[in-house]
Structure 1
Amino acid sequence: MAAPVRDRSAGSQLAAFDVSLGTRYVAGADEAGRGSLAGPLVAAAVLFDCERLRRGVQDGLVDLDDSKKHTSAARERIFRAVLAYAARVRVVFKGPREIDRRGLHRVNIEALAEALAAVARSDCTCLVDGFELDGVAARSRQQVVALVRGDATSAAVAAASVVAKVVRDRHMRRLAARYPEWGFERHVGYSTPEHREAIAACGLTPLHRRSFASVAYSQLDFGL
């Protein structure tokens, strides 16, 4: 008798990791926009029931993976599947003025902690992509595991990465209508040649983070 074919899809491999943790529920958190010049930092957290996750990776979550590995269209499709299969989802926005005032790292940690605490259960495993989140343990009564390359390892963290990226990209594309000269609908605030040229020609919008010592700002005088 031939050996059964193992499912080697990206989604099944990430789900297998979450299931191997031994708890029925797994929560994961990740963020989008940490390195952008303009727009918010968006953190997301996703809670999966591993019993439902097993079914999901045979269907809409089959291609679940780190959001950076997918096209915009694929992320949108996976985003809808995450919403269909997740037990809980939370998204947290932190705007450019708060980032400038309080510092990117502090704001990033707080956004991840807030999102994860909102979805966590007392009986779940909590994972975050790369950062230590001491504050979540007090809020959720759960230890949080900082997982290096978590978005390429855990289904819950990968799902959070997709949610954060899709929600942030949609937000920036809506804002592009207010600032048509900057092309936010294409680069969504990241430091691309097009974006840097727009900054040189038109200056900064209220969406731009002024605390970043970026080469894109080198010709501007606003007190960096």
Structure 2
Amino acid sequence: MNTKPTTLAQLSNKKIDNLLALEKITLKDLEGVSDPERRRLANKATKILAKLTGTARDNFLEKIEQVMPGHAKNDIWEYNHAVISTVISNYMHKHGVMPGKSTIAEETGLSRPTIDKHLIAYRQHPEFIAEMEQFKLMSNQILVNVFKYASNGDIRAARLYFEMVGTLNKQPAGTVVNAQNNYIQINNTILSQEKLKQLSDEQLTQIENIVTKKEYRLSETVASQMLLRS
């Protein structure tokens, strides 16, 4: 009967349990712990963390903080960010107001201190900055789609397109820029980008209708001229 592997496994499990029983696990505590044992420790810590909420979760994270790899800390931040964002979004859609921190804590299982810390400092976190860079990467595709609608005569899309292009082309303070103005001139009247922004939706709709009818009549005129020439 082969009992040696079982005995070694029991000793290994006891070592892991002893580590988890410490008030705080340090790198020095992991000296003499083999790689397989470290993996088992990580797996067990993950399972424990998944069952904890509130202050108990914070305390356990503080216990293992010194021995957590960097990617694990980023995973925890991403999880916190996702659940907080989801709760805020769902609550605002349902009630039309921002939820209080007590509500966020109740819905997410996170502690109030964790929520406070996340809401205050999330903009400086590297994961948030990386996330924003991903959104910026997609801005060109959004701009292309807006341009398609604007090209088809959608005045609102045209106004949004001008605003987006203006934002993308903003220069740092102190930079001299030779500005290029986008405008429409009808006889002696000039409709600049700035003036279009000041118009109401009703006024923009009227202009859109006029332009659409103008294009339609122009196409009829061109067709008639082609028929007369043929």
Q: Which structure shows the higher strand fraction?
A: 1
What TM-score do the two structures reach when normalised by structure 2?
0.27
Greater helix percent: which structure? 2
Higher-Rg structure is 2
Higher relative contact order structure (alpha carbons within 8 Å, sequence separation ≥ 6): 1
Question: Please, what TM-score do these two structures have when normalized by structure 1?
Answer: 0.28
